[in-house]
């Protein structure tokens, strides 16, 4: 196809990012990691690496105003950025917020939005240091950028995994996707279940403490946060590390609430755990000989549970092993802004 006639839909989100990478670095000194990981990594400065990340949330694309409170929306806008800092193992220091606001937006709404942002920043000791404000001809746009830091030798990249490494995930998976289905009315369930699963979607907890512990243990080899879905995000580790992976479906951690809901609806919660996005858990790899170290540290500190869900393999691609031991190759259909 003629390059001039191609659209972003033809390239896809990740094809587009790859296509703009060339010619971006004009002063490479001081840049440890540019485009291609959860954060850019700069430095070192006095042994520390600086982390920088930004994420954009758009009305009706990332959130539905009718289905979230302003507080939750502000919280989530910060949370998705803190999650990218967590994915490198860092601590979050400073946040910047830029808004494009439709003219008829209520002041009470905006105050609520900032209450949510400040609450989450406060919990992790991050400052809100600036941003930009514009009117919007369309919906509400929220862009947040966050800076963080970490000891330079402790940073965990997507590219560090090797064949044979074990694959772990924090917490449980699939809850946020179930929450979204409940919000949209695609699924229904008892009020208590609904509340806790919807909260996972609207108010995710960034795993900053767990991320730091994992990085400081020096037992992990690669890490990413689960924003697009377990398999889609594992695929980023595989591609960056030039390796493949095998995931054991039966080992995927699902919450009691999700298991309950799925039993009612005759659904397999592990399907949501494999493909559902926005859990903001951490997915990381550990060389086999360091298994005891990571499991010991995480158990001792009790920040959150971790579960071993698979192993890195030689070659390319991800294979999913079902409960009968049958392996199937996964074909990428992860979330892509221009293809879903």
Binding site for Mg ion (CB under 5 A): 38, 84, 225
Quick note: the x/- pattern for ligand ADP over 44-63, rule CB under 6 A, is -----------x--------
Among residues 25 and 35, whose Cβ is nearest to ligand ADP?
Answer: 35
Q: Which of 12, 15, 36, 131 binds ligand ADP (CB under 6 A)?
A: 36
Contact 263, 187 (CB under 8 A): no
d(CA 96, CA 98): 7
Contact 82, 208 (CB under 8 A): yes
Among residues 225 and 257, whose Cβ is nearest to Mg ion?
Answer: 225
Partners of residue 246 on adjacent β-strands? 311, 319
d(CA 164, CA 243): 10
Residues 5-24, interacting with ligand ADP (CB under 6 A): 17, 20
Contact 136, 102 (CB under 8 A): yes
Under the binding rule (CB under 6 A), the answer on residue 279 touching ligand ADP is no
Q: Which of 9, 19, 30, 35 binds ligand ADP (CB under 6 A)?
A: 35
The residue number whose beta carbon is nearest to ligand ADP equals 38
Among residues 193 and 283, whose Cβ is nearest to ligand ADP?
Answer: 283
Select the binding partner of residue 8 from ligand ADP, Mg ion, none (C-beta < 5 to 8 A, by kind): none
Select the binding partner of residue 35 from ligand ADP, Mg ion, none (C-beta < 5 to 8 A, by kind): ligand ADP
Strands (DSSP E) along the chain, which ranges? 31-33, 40-45, 48-58, 91-101, 127-135, 141-151, 166-170, 222-225, 244-248, 282-286, 306-313, 318-321, 327-329
d(CA 172, CA 21): 34
Taking the complex as a whole, how short is the minimal distance between the CB of residue 84 and Mg ion, in angstroms?
A: 4
The residue number whose beta carbon is nearest to Mg ion equals 38
Interface residues with ligand ADP (CB under 6 A) are: 17, 20, 35-38, 55, 84, 227
């Amino acid at each position: 196809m003629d390059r001039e006639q191609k659209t972003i839909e033809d390239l896809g989100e990740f094809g587009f990012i790859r296509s703009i990478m060339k010619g971006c670095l004009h002063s490479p000194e001081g840049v440890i990691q540019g485009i291609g990981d959860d954060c850019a990594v700069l430095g070192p400065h006095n042994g520390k690496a600086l982390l920088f990340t930004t994420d954009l949330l758009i009305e009706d694309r990332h959130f539905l105003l009718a289905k979230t409170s302003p507080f939750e929306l502000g919280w989530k806008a910060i949370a998705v950025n803190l999650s990218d800092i967590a994915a490198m193992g860092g601590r979050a220091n400073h946040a910047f917020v830029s808004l494009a606001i439709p003219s008829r937006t209520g002041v009470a709404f905006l105050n609520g939005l900032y209450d949510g942002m400040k609450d989450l920043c406060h919990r992790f000791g991050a400052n809100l240091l600036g941003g930009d404000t514009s009117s919007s001809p369309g919906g509400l746009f929220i862009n947040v950028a966050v800076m963080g830091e970490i000891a330079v030798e402790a940073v965990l990249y997507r590219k560090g995994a090797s064949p044979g490494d074990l694959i772990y995930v924090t917490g449980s998976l699939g809850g946020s996707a179930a929450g979204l289905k409940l919000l949209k009315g695609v699924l229904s369930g008892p009020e208590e279940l609904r509340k806790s699963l919807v909260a996972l979607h609207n108010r995710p907890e960034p795993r900053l403490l767990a991320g730091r512990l994992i990085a400081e243990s020096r037992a992990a080899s690669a890490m990413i946060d689960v924003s697009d879905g377990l398999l889609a995000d594992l695929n980023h580790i595989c591609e960056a590390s030039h390796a493949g992976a095998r995931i054991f479906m039966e080992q995927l951690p699902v919450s009691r609430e999700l298991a309950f809901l799925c039993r009612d609806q005759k659904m397999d919660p592990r399907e949501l755990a494999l493909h559902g996005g926005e859990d903001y858990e951490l997915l990381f790899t550990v060389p086999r000989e360091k298994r005891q170290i990571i499991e010991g540290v995480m158990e001792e500190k009790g920040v959150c549970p971790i579960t071993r869900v698979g192993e890195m393999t030689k070659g390319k691609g991800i294979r999913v092993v079902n409960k009968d031991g049958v392996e199937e190759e996964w074909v990428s259909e992860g979330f892509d802004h221009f293809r879903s």
